[in-house]
Structure 1
Amino acid sequence: MAAATIDVRRVDYGEPGDAQALVQLLDGYARDAAGGGQPLAAQVLQGLPAALQQRSQAFSVIAWAQQEGGAVPVGLVNCFEGFSTFACLPLVNVHDVVVAPGWRGQRIAQRMLALVETIARERGACKLTLEVLSGNTSAMALYLREGFAPYALDPAMGQAQFLQKKLLP
Protein backbone atom coordinates (compact mmCIF):
# COMPACT_ATOMS: atom_id res chain seq x y z
CA MET A 1 0.00 0.00 0.00
CA ALA A 2 1.32 3.45 -0.86
CA ALA A 3 2.40 5.73 1.94
CA ALA A 4 -0.53 7.64 3.37
CA THR A 5 -1.08 10.02 6.23
CA ILE A 6 -2.49 8.04 9.16
CA ASP A 7 -4.75 9.72 11.70
CA VAL A 8 -5.43 7.80 14.93
CA ARG A 9 -8.30 8.98 17.06
CA ARG A 10 -10.84 7.85 19.59
CA VAL A 11 -14.06 6.35 18.26
CA ASP A 12 -17.37 8.16 18.70
CA TYR A 13 -19.75 5.16 18.89
CA GLY A 14 -22.73 7.38 18.10
CA GLU A 15 -21.22 8.77 14.89
CA PRO A 16 -22.40 6.67 11.92
CA GLY A 17 -19.07 6.73 10.06
CA ASP A 18 -17.16 5.63 13.16
CA ALA A 19 -19.75 2.95 13.94
CA GLN A 20 -19.60 1.55 10.41
CA ALA A 21 -15.80 1.56 10.40
CA LEU A 22 -15.70 -0.22 13.77
CA VAL A 23 -17.91 -3.12 12.68
CA GLN A 24 -16.26 -3.32 9.24
CA LEU A 25 -12.79 -3.65 10.75
CA LEU A 26 -13.90 -6.02 13.51
CA ASP A 27 -15.75 -8.23 11.03
CA GLY A 28 -12.64 -8.38 8.85
CA TYR A 29 -10.64 -9.46 11.90
CA ALA A 30 -13.25 -12.08 12.86
CA ARG A 31 -13.04 -13.56 9.35
CA ASP A 32 -9.23 -13.82 9.59
CA ALA A 33 -7.66 -16.98 11.01
CA ALA A 34 -6.36 -14.95 13.98
CA GLY A 35 -9.95 -13.90 14.74
CA GLY A 36 -11.50 -17.35 14.42
CA GLY A 37 -12.24 -17.40 10.68
CA GLN A 38 -15.99 -16.66 10.98
CA PRO A 39 -17.93 -13.49 10.15
CA LEU A 40 -19.67 -11.65 12.95
CA ALA A 41 -23.37 -12.36 13.40
CA ALA A 42 -25.80 -9.83 11.93
CA GLN A 43 -27.02 -8.78 15.39
CA VAL A 44 -23.42 -8.05 16.44
CA LEU A 45 -22.81 -5.95 13.33
CA GLN A 46 -26.02 -4.00 13.98
CA GLY A 47 -25.84 -3.65 17.74
CA LEU A 48 -22.18 -3.43 18.71
CA PRO A 49 -21.61 0.35 18.46
CA ALA A 50 -24.70 1.12 20.56
CA ALA A 51 -23.80 -1.58 23.09
CA LEU A 52 -20.29 -0.18 23.44
CA GLN A 53 -21.65 3.35 23.78
CA GLN A 54 -23.73 2.20 26.77
CA ARG A 55 -20.62 0.95 28.59
CA SER A 56 -18.62 3.71 30.22
CA GLN A 57 -15.71 1.31 30.70
CA ALA A 58 -15.39 0.76 26.91
CA PHE A 59 -13.37 2.83 24.48
CA SER A 60 -11.97 2.25 21.02
CA VAL A 61 -9.49 3.93 18.69
CA ILE A 62 -9.44 3.79 14.90
CA ALA A 63 -6.62 4.53 12.49
CA TRP A 64 -7.74 6.34 9.34
CA ALA A 65 -5.62 6.55 6.20
CA GLN A 66 -6.08 9.87 4.43
CA GLN A 67 -6.36 9.15 0.70
CA GLU A 68 -7.42 11.08 -2.36
CA GLY A 69 -11.04 9.89 -2.08
CA GLY A 70 -11.22 10.56 1.66
CA ALA A 71 -10.39 8.77 4.89
CA VAL A 72 -10.33 4.96 4.92
CA PRO A 73 -10.43 2.99 8.21
CA VAL A 74 -7.32 0.77 8.42
CA GLY A 75 -6.96 -0.15 12.11
CA LEU A 76 -8.99 -0.63 15.29
CA VAL A 77 -8.33 -1.28 18.96
CA ASN A 78 -11.20 -2.02 21.38
CA CYS A 79 -10.53 -1.64 25.10
CA PHE A 80 -12.33 -2.20 28.38
CA GLU A 81 -11.53 -0.81 31.79
CA GLY A 82 -11.20 -3.36 34.56
CA PHE A 83 -9.86 -3.13 38.08
CA SER A 84 -6.67 -4.32 39.76
CA THR A 85 -7.43 -5.38 43.33
CA PHE A 86 -3.70 -5.63 44.12
CA ALA A 87 -3.13 -2.00 43.07
CA CYS A 88 -6.64 -0.71 43.95
CA LEU A 89 -6.61 1.07 40.60
CA PRO A 90 -8.24 0.69 37.21
CA LEU A 91 -6.53 -1.28 34.46
CA VAL A 92 -7.27 -1.31 30.73
CA ASN A 93 -7.64 -4.54 28.80
CA VAL A 94 -6.76 -4.27 25.13
CA HIS A 95 -9.42 -6.61 23.77
CA ASP A 96 -9.11 -6.43 19.95
CA VAL A 97 -6.23 -5.16 17.83
CA VAL A 98 -6.98 -5.03 14.11
CA VAL A 99 -4.97 -3.76 11.17
CA ALA A 100 -6.46 -4.28 7.71
CA PRO A 101 -4.37 -6.75 5.66
CA GLY A 102 -3.13 -4.25 3.08
CA TRP A 103 -1.91 -1.92 5.82
CA ARG A 104 0.08 -4.29 8.04
CA GLY A 105 3.77 -3.68 8.62
CA GLN A 106 3.45 0.11 8.74
CA ARG A 107 3.44 0.52 12.55
CA ILE A 108 -0.26 1.40 12.61
CA ALA A 109 -0.89 -0.86 15.62
CA GLN A 110 2.00 0.83 17.42
CA ARG A 111 0.40 4.23 16.88
CA MET A 112 -3.01 3.00 18.04
CA LEU A 113 -1.49 1.43 21.17
CA ALA A 114 0.21 4.74 21.96
CA LEU A 115 -3.18 6.48 22.01
CA VAL A 116 -4.66 3.62 24.07
CA GLU A 117 -1.87 4.13 26.60
CA THR A 118 -2.55 7.87 26.74
CA ILE A 119 -6.26 7.25 27.38
CA ALA A 120 -5.44 4.59 29.99
CA ARG A 121 -3.14 7.01 31.82
CA GLU A 122 -5.88 9.68 31.70
CA ARG A 123 -8.19 7.14 33.38
CA GLY A 124 -5.60 6.52 36.09
CA ALA A 125 -4.96 2.95 34.98
CA CYS A 126 -2.06 1.10 36.56
CA LYS A 127 -1.47 -1.21 33.59
CA LEU A 128 -2.57 -2.42 30.18
CA THR A 129 -3.41 -6.09 29.68
CA LEU A 130 -4.07 -8.17 26.58
CA GLU A 131 -4.14 -11.73 25.33
CA VAL A 132 -2.59 -13.01 22.12
CA LEU A 133 -2.71 -16.36 20.36
CA SER A 134 0.63 -18.16 20.63
CA GLY A 135 0.78 -18.65 16.85
CA ASN A 136 0.40 -14.92 16.14
CA THR A 137 4.13 -14.26 16.18
CA SER A 138 3.96 -10.86 14.47
CA ALA A 139 1.49 -9.58 17.10
CA MET A 140 3.61 -11.03 19.90
CA ALA A 141 6.68 -9.28 18.50
CA LEU A 142 4.73 -5.99 18.41
CA TYR A 143 3.52 -6.35 21.98
CA LEU A 144 6.97 -7.23 23.33
CA ARG A 145 8.47 -4.30 21.41
CA GLU A 146 5.83 -2.02 22.97
CA GLY A 147 6.70 -3.09 26.52
CA PHE A 148 4.18 -5.86 27.19
CA ALA A 149 5.51 -8.99 28.91
CA PRO A 150 4.14 -12.36 30.02
CA TYR A 151 2.34 -12.04 33.35
CA ALA A 152 3.76 -13.68 36.44
CA LEU A 153 3.63 -12.74 40.12
CA ASP A 154 6.28 -15.20 41.29
CA PRO A 155 8.41 -16.92 38.63
CA ALA A 156 8.29 -20.13 40.66
CA MET A 157 4.50 -20.19 40.13
CA GLY A 158 4.82 -19.74 36.35
CA GLN A 159 3.10 -17.47 33.89
CA ALA A 160 -0.59 -16.68 33.91
CA GLN A 161 -2.74 -18.58 31.42
CA PHE A 162 -5.78 -17.12 29.71
CA LEU A 163 -8.81 -19.41 30.03
CA GLN A 164 -12.45 -19.12 29.03
CA LYS A 165 -15.76 -20.78 29.80
CA LYS A 166 -18.42 -20.06 27.19
CA LEU A 167 -21.87 -19.35 28.60
CA LEU A 168 -23.67 -18.93 25.26
CA PRO A 169 -23.43 -21.05 22.11
Structure 2
Amino acid sequence: MTQTSARTRILVRPVDYGDPSDAAALVELLDGYAQDMAGGGEPLAVGVKQGLAQALHQRPQAFSVMAWAQDQPSARGAEIPVGLINCFEGFSTFACKPLVNVHDVVVVPAWRGQRIAQRMLQEVAVMARSRGACKLTLEVLSGNLSAIRSYEREGFAAYMLDPQMGSAQFFQKYLD
Protein backbone atom coordinates (compact mmCIF):
# COMPACT_ATOMS: atom_id res chain seq x y z
CA MET A 1 0.00 0.00 0.00
CA THR A 2 1.65 3.26 -1.08
CA GLN A 3 -1.15 5.74 -1.44
CA THR A 4 -4.45 6.64 0.07
CA SER A 5 -7.45 5.03 -1.57
CA ALA A 6 -11.12 5.34 -0.77
CA ARG A 7 -10.67 2.38 1.58
CA THR A 8 -7.46 3.63 3.25
CA ARG A 9 -7.56 5.88 6.23
CA ILE A 10 -4.76 7.59 8.12
CA LEU A 11 -4.80 7.30 11.90
CA VAL A 12 -2.67 9.64 14.01
CA ARG A 13 -2.04 8.78 17.63
CA PRO A 14 0.57 9.13 20.38
CA VAL A 15 3.42 6.63 20.39
CA ASP A 16 3.58 4.19 23.29
CA TYR A 17 7.35 3.80 23.73
CA GLY A 18 6.75 0.66 25.82
CA ASP A 19 4.75 -1.08 23.08
CA PRO A 20 7.09 -3.25 20.96
CA SER A 21 5.24 -2.57 17.69
CA ASP A 22 5.22 1.21 18.29
CA ALA A 23 8.89 1.11 19.30
CA ALA A 24 9.86 -0.88 16.19
CA ALA A 25 7.88 1.45 13.90
CA LEU A 26 9.47 4.52 15.53
CA VAL A 27 12.97 3.16 14.90
CA GLU A 28 12.09 2.08 11.35
CA LEU A 29 10.70 5.50 10.44
CA LEU A 30 13.51 7.46 12.09
CA ASP A 31 16.15 5.27 10.47
CA GLY A 32 14.55 5.86 7.06
CA TYR A 33 14.58 9.59 7.74
CA ALA A 34 18.22 9.49 8.89
CA GLN A 35 19.17 7.82 5.59
CA ASP A 36 17.39 10.54 3.58
CA MET A 37 19.51 13.56 2.61
CA ALA A 38 17.25 15.77 4.75
CA GLY A 39 18.20 13.59 7.73
CA GLY A 40 21.94 13.45 7.03
CA GLY A 41 22.13 10.52 4.61
CA GLU A 42 23.42 7.95 7.15
CA PRO A 43 21.58 5.13 8.93
CA LEU A 44 21.14 5.23 12.67
CA ALA A 45 23.87 3.47 14.65
CA VAL A 46 22.99 0.00 15.93
CA GLY A 47 23.11 1.22 19.54
CA VAL A 48 20.70 4.04 18.75
CA LYS A 49 18.27 1.62 17.12
CA GLN A 50 18.45 -0.70 20.12
CA GLY A 51 18.10 1.94 22.82
CA LEU A 52 16.03 4.76 21.36
CA ALA A 53 12.52 3.75 22.44
CA GLN A 54 13.65 2.96 25.98
CA ALA A 55 15.62 6.23 26.23
CA LEU A 56 12.58 8.21 25.08
CA HIS A 57 10.36 6.27 27.49
CA GLN A 58 12.61 7.37 30.38
CA ARG A 59 12.21 11.06 29.53
CA PRO A 60 8.90 12.56 30.66
CA GLN A 61 9.57 15.62 28.51
CA ALA A 62 9.57 13.47 25.34
CA PHE A 63 6.52 12.48 23.34
CA SER A 64 5.90 11.33 19.80
CA VAL A 65 2.99 10.90 17.44
CA MET A 66 2.78 8.48 14.56
CA ALA A 67 0.60 8.24 11.48
CA TRP A 68 -0.60 4.81 10.40
CA ALA A 69 -2.23 3.82 7.12
CA GLN A 70 -5.05 1.34 7.58
CA ASP A 71 -7.25 -0.42 5.05
CA GLN A 72 -10.85 -0.33 6.30
CA PRO A 73 -12.03 -2.33 8.12
CA SER A 74 -8.85 -3.66 9.63
CA ALA A 75 -7.28 -4.58 12.93
CA ARG A 76 -4.38 -2.61 14.42
CA GLY A 77 -1.91 -5.29 13.33
CA ALA A 78 -2.63 -4.47 9.68
CA GLU A 79 -1.59 -0.83 10.05
CA ILE A 80 1.47 0.46 8.22
CA PRO A 81 3.54 3.26 9.83
CA VAL A 82 3.77 6.20 7.41
CA GLY A 83 4.74 9.19 9.57
CA LEU A 84 6.40 10.20 12.83
CA ILE A 85 7.01 13.33 14.86
CA ASN A 86 9.28 13.32 17.92
CA CYS A 87 8.87 16.19 20.38
CA PHE A 88 10.58 17.47 23.49
CA GLU A 89 9.22 19.84 26.08
CA GLY A 90 11.40 22.82 26.87
CA PHE A 91 10.73 26.07 28.70
CA SER A 92 10.15 29.63 27.55
CA THR A 93 11.66 31.97 30.10
CA PHE A 94 10.01 34.99 28.43
CA ALA A 95 6.55 33.40 28.80
CA CYS A 96 7.34 31.39 31.97
CA LYS A 97 5.59 28.43 30.35
CA PRO A 98 6.56 25.19 28.68
CA LEU A 99 7.21 25.09 24.94
CA VAL A 100 7.40 22.05 22.69
CA ASN A 101 10.20 21.55 20.19
CA VAL A 102 9.18 19.50 17.17
CA HIS A 103 12.45 17.65 16.73
CA ASP A 104 11.88 15.14 13.90
CA VAL A 105 9.17 15.18 11.24
CA VAL A 106 9.11 12.05 9.11
CA VAL A 107 6.75 11.05 6.31
CA VAL A 108 7.58 7.96 4.27
CA PRO A 109 8.44 9.18 0.72
CA ALA A 110 5.62 7.22 -0.97
CA TRP A 111 3.10 8.94 1.35
CA ARG A 112 4.31 12.54 0.99
CA GLY A 113 2.01 15.16 -0.46
CA GLN A 114 -1.05 13.82 1.37
CA ARG A 115 -0.97 16.26 4.32
CA ILE A 116 0.11 13.58 6.78
CA ALA A 117 2.62 15.95 8.40
CA GLN A 118 -0.17 18.50 8.92
CA ARG A 119 -2.36 15.92 10.62
CA MET A 120 0.48 14.90 12.90
CA LEU A 121 1.33 18.55 13.68
CA GLN A 122 -2.29 19.15 14.62
CA GLU A 123 -2.11 16.26 17.10
CA VAL A 124 1.20 17.61 18.46
CA ALA A 125 -0.50 20.99 19.01
CA VAL A 126 -3.31 19.32 20.97
CA MET A 127 -0.79 17.46 23.13
CA ALA A 128 1.34 20.59 23.62
CA ARG A 129 -1.70 22.58 24.75
CA SER A 130 -2.53 19.84 27.24
CA ARG A 131 0.96 20.34 28.70
CA GLY A 132 0.32 24.08 29.02
CA ALA A 133 2.81 24.93 26.26
CA CYS A 134 2.82 28.46 24.88
CA LYS A 135 4.30 27.58 21.48
CA LEU A 136 5.79 24.99 19.17
CA THR A 137 9.29 25.38 17.78
CA LEU A 138 11.13 23.49 15.06
CA GLU A 139 14.22 23.62 12.88
CA VAL A 140 14.25 23.00 9.15
CA LEU A 141 17.03 23.01 6.57
CA SER A 142 16.80 26.06 4.31
CA GLY A 143 16.89 23.86 1.20
CA ASN A 144 13.93 21.72 2.30
CA LEU A 145 11.39 23.94 0.57
CA SER A 146 8.51 21.47 0.61
CA ALA A 147 8.84 21.09 4.39
CA ILE A 148 9.04 24.86 4.82
CA ARG A 149 5.83 25.31 2.82
CA SER A 150 4.18 22.59 4.89
CA TYR A 151 5.17 24.28 8.16
CA GLU A 152 4.07 27.70 6.92
CA ARG A 153 0.64 26.27 6.03
CA GLU A 154 0.39 25.18 9.67
CA GLY A 155 1.20 28.69 10.93
CA PHE A 156 4.94 28.37 11.61
CA ALA A 157 7.14 31.35 10.77
CA ALA A 158 10.77 32.32 11.21
CA TYR A 159 11.45 33.39 14.81
CA MET A 160 11.98 37.11 15.14
CA LEU A 161 11.68 39.51 18.07
CA ASP A 162 12.51 42.73 16.19
CA PRO A 163 12.86 42.86 12.39
CA GLN A 164 15.94 45.06 12.78
CA MET A 165 17.68 42.22 14.63
CA GLY A 166 16.72 39.65 11.98
CA SER A 167 15.53 36.05 12.20
CA ALA A 168 16.93 33.52 14.63
CA GLN A 169 19.46 31.00 13.36
CA PHE A 170 19.96 27.47 14.59
CA PHE A 171 23.47 26.59 15.77
CA GLN A 172 24.96 23.44 17.23
CA LYS A 173 28.13 22.38 18.99
CA TYR A 174 29.00 18.72 19.46
CA LEU A 175 30.21 17.72 22.89
CA ASP A 176 32.92 15.10 23.25
Of the three residues 48, 51, 67, the one matched with 2:52 is 48
Q: Distance between the aligned counterparts of 2:130 and 2:4, measured in 1?
A: 34
Q: Does 1:71 align with 2:79?
A: yes
Gaps of 5+ in 1: none
AA of the residue aligned to 1:150:
A
> How much does 1:167 deviate?
1.1
For 1:102-117, list aligned pairs within 5 A: 102-117=110-125
How many residues align structurally?
Answer: 168
Q: Distance between the aligned counterparts of 1:101 and 1:157, measured in 2?
A: 37
> How much does 1:127 deviate?
0.2
Give the root-mean-square deviation of aligned CA atoms: 1.0
Q: Distance between the aligned counterparts of 1:116 and 1:32, measured in 2?
A: 23
For 1:123-138, list aligned pairs within 5 A: 123-138=131-146
Runs of 4+ displaced beyond 2 Å: none
AA of the residue aligned to 2:31:
D
Give the percent of matched residue pairs that are identical in Structure 1 and Structure 2: 71
Q: Distance between the aligned counterparts of 1:2 and 1:151, measured in 2?
A: 34
AA of the residue aligned to 1:31:
Q
Q: Does 1:21 align with 2:29?
A: no
TM-score by length of 1: 0.97
TM-score by length of 2: 0.93
AA of the residue aligned to 1:130:
L
AA of the residue aligned to 1:74:
V
